[in-house]
Amino acid sequence: MTSPGADLTLRHPVERFTLDNGLRVVLAPDTSVPVVAVSVFYDVGMRSEPEGRTGFAHLFEHVMFQGSAHVPKMEHARLVQAAGGSFNGSTHQDYTNYFEALPAEALERALFLEADRMASPAITEENLRNQIDVVKEEIRVNVLNRPYGAFPWLQLPQIAFESFANTHDGYGSFVDLESSTVDDAKDFFDRYYAPANAVLCLGGDLDVAETERLVRRYFDAVPHRAAPPTPYTGEASPTGPRHGVVVDALAPAPAVAIAWRVPDPVADLDTYLGTVLLSELLSEGDASRLELRLVHRDHLAVAQSSYVGLFGDPFDVRDATTLTTQVHHSADVTPQRVLDAVHEEIDKVAQDGVGAAELARVQARTSAQLLRGADSVLGRTLGFASAELIHGRAELAGELAARLAAVTPEAVQHAARGLVPDTAAVLELRTADKGTTR
C-alpha cells in the first residue's frame, strides 16, 4: 500500500501573464522530453448555445480548422503534421479547446497558427456547408448508426435538469445545424472568441523568457474585444424524482442510468472532492462496491460505471453537474432490481461510512490514474489549461492527486447522503421489442 506521505503533487512551475488584449497566458515548462504542447481554451461550450442553435459550439469548432487569414484550407493540418506534430480540438460543456503536441522546435509555428485563427478564421459559406455535412456524419457515426449512441449523455440531461443550457442536445439537431448561417458564425466568433475570453496554455520543453517574447509577437496583434459574461449554468437542486424512457432500436439489451445533482465543482470544491471519491468507490474497478454487487454477487449487470461530469472528467465542468451511474443489464433483469441494488449500496455508505483501509485503496487507484493522465506533456498541459479556465488556478491540476488523497471517510459518507432516490433522475433504455410494453 502507498505510504500516506507519498508525494503525489506535480511540482511543475507555472508562470502566467496577461496580454493587453486580455489573453491569459500560462506556461508550464518541463524539459524532460523534447516536446511542447500548445493549447487555446475559449470560454464557450455547449452550455453557451442559444435556443435554435443547438450544436453550434461544436460546429464552430469544426469551422476553426478551415483555415484563417494567412492559412488556406487544409494548411493548418499540414503545417502541424509536417512538423511532426498532432492536433485536435474538442467541445465541452463549458469550453472549447484547440491543441497541438509537437517537437519542441515547432513551437513558434504553432503559435503563429493559433494566433492567426484567433484573429481571423475563414468563416465562409463553402466551409460552413462542408463542415455541416461532416458534423452530420460525425453524429451518424457516434449516435444514430450505433446502439447506445446517445445513452445517456444526450438523453439523461433532458430529465435531470430544467434550463435550456443544461438540457439541450450539445451535438445539435439536424434542423438547427442545417439552418446555421455565416452571419451566425461571425456573430458567434465576435462574441465568444475574443482573446479576453481565452486561455493560452503552453507546456513542455520551452524557455520561459523566449516563449513570452514569441507569445507577445504573435498574439499582441489580435485586437481586444470585451469578454462576454460567463453564462450562468447553475440551477436549483431537484426536489423530486424524475423518470424517463427511451427506445433504442439498435440495442440488443436494455440499460439504465441514474443521475444525482452534486455540489458545485468550483465554489464548493472540497465537498465536491468527496463526491468524486464516492464515484470511484462505487464503480472504479473490480474491487468497487457496484462491480462486486451488481456484476459479481447478484449477477444483475453485464457492465456498470459511475462518473462525475457529463463527459466523465469531474474537473472540466462548472455547476450544475451530476454523478451518473450507468448499468447495462440483460432483458430478464428489471430496471427496478438494478435501481434497488444501486440505492442500497449507496445507502450503506451513507449509513455505515467507509473504512479507512478501503478508502486508502480507492485513493491509491485514483491518484495513479490522475498521474497517468499527467505523464504526457499534452495531457498535463490540457489539465493546467482547464484548471486555469474553470477554477482560475492552473496549479490546481498538479495538486489534485494530493487533494484527493487527503479526503476523509466522513467526506465520502457525507457525499453518499446526498445521493438519495427521492431526487434521482432515472432513464431507462429499452430495446425495440420491449419498448412498447409498459
Partner 1 sequence: MSAPVLDLSLVPPLGDPRPQPVPEVHLTTLDTGLQVAVVPRAGVPLVELRLRIPFAAASTRAAAAHVARTSVLTGAVLLGTAAHDQVQIAQLLQAEGAELSVSADPDRLLLGTTMLPSGLPAVLGVLAELLGRATYPADQVAAEKARVAERIAIARSQPGVVARTALATRRYGSHPYAVQLPETEQVAAITPAALRKLHRERVLPAGSTLVLVGDVDPAAATDAVAAALGGWTGSGTAVDAPLLVEAPVGPLLLVDRPGAVQSNLRLGGPAPGRRDPELPAVRLASMVYGGYFSSRLVENIRERRGYTYSPRSSVDHLQAGSSFLVDADVATGVTGPALLETVYELGRIALVPMTEAELDAARRYILGTTALATATHAGLASTLSALIGSGLPADWLAEHQAALAAVTLDEVTAAARRWLHPAGLTAVVVGDADATADQLAALGPVQR
User: Of 129 and 243, which CB lies nearer to partner 1 in the complex structure?
Assistant: 129
Q: How far is the CB of 318 from partner 1 (least distance, A)?
A: 28
Q: Is 437 helix (H, G, I), strand (E, B) or coil?
A: coil
The rounded distance, in Å, linking the Cα atoms of 387 and 376 is: 17
Does 10 bind partner 1 (CB under 8 A)? Our answer is yes
- How far, in Å, are 5, 214, 228, 430 from residue 267 at the CA level? 28, 35, 21, 38
User: Of 337 and 372, which CB lies nearer to partner 1 in the complex structure?
Assistant: 372
The residue with cell 427506445 is 247
Does 138 bind partner 1 (CB under 8 A)? Our answer is yes
Please enumerate in sequence order all residues whose Cβ is within 8 A of that of 198, keeping only pairs 6 or more positions apart, or say none: 23, 24, 40, 41, 42, 43, 118
The rounded distance, in Å, linking the Cα atoms of 147 and 304 is: 16
The rounded distance, in Å, linking the Cα atoms of 294 and 422 is: 21
Does 3 bind partner 1 (CB under 8 A)? Our answer is yes
User: Of 3 and 239, which CB lies nearer to partner 1 in the complex structure?
Assistant: 3
The rounded distance, in Å, linking the Cα atoms of 58 and 169 is: 11
Does 186 bind partner 1 (CB under 8 A)? Our answer is no
The residue with cell 505510504 is 3
How many residues bind partner 1 (CB under 8 A)? The answer is: 92
- How far, in Å, are 27, 63, 95, 177, 297 from residue 134 at the CA level? 34, 11, 21, 11, 45
Of residues 48 through 67, those in contact with partner 1 by CB under 8 A are 67
Of residues 274 through 313, those in contact with partner 1 by CB under 8 A are 285-287, 292, 295-296, 299, 302-303
Of residues 118 through 137, those in contact with partner 1 by CB under 8 A are 120, 122-124, 129-137
CB count, 10 Å around CB of 240? 8
Of residues 191 through 210, those in contact with partner 1 by CB under 8 A are 205
Does 337 bind partner 1 (CB under 8 A)? Our answer is no
Q: How far is the CB of 377 from partner 1 (least distance, A)?
A: 7
Q: Are 204 and 37 in contact (CB under 8 A)?
A: yes
Q: How far is the CB of 415 from partner 1 (least distance, A)?
A: 19
Q: What is the DSSP letter of 148?
A: T
User: Of 196 and 300, which CB lies nearer to partner 1 in the complex structure?
Assistant: 300
Q: How far is the CB of 134 from partner 1 (least distance, A)?
A: 5
Q: How far is the CB of 86 from partner 1 (least distance, A)?
A: 6
**Candidates 39-47, 143-151, 191-199, 338-346 — which segment interacts with partner 1 by CB under 8 A?**
143-151
Dihedral angle over CA of 374, 376, 378, 382, nearest 10? -10
User: Of 52 and 72, which CB lies nearer to partner 1 in the complex structure?
Assistant: 72
Q: Is 229 helix (H, G, I), strand (E, B) or coil?
A: coil
User: Of 253 and 420, which CB lies nearer to partner 1 in the complex structure?
Assistant: 253
Q: How far is the CB of 25 from partner 1 (least distance, A)?
A: 18
Burial class (CB in 10 A: 0-12, 13-18, 19+), 425: buried
Q: What is the DSSP letter of 428?
A: E
**Candidates 78-86, 219-227, 341-349, 385-393 — which segment interacts with partner 1 by CB under 8 A?**
78-86
Does 399 bind partner 1 (CB under 8 A)? Our answer is no
Q: How far is the CB of 69 from partner 1 (least distance, A)?
A: 6
Q: Which of 13, 18, 20, 34 binds partner 1 (CB under 8 A)?
A: 34
Of residues 339 through 398, those in contact with partner 1 by CB under 8 A are 360-362, 364-365, 367-369, 371-372, 374-378
Of residues 80 through 109, those in contact with partner 1 by CB under 8 A are 81-87, 101-109
The residue with cell 454477487 is 297
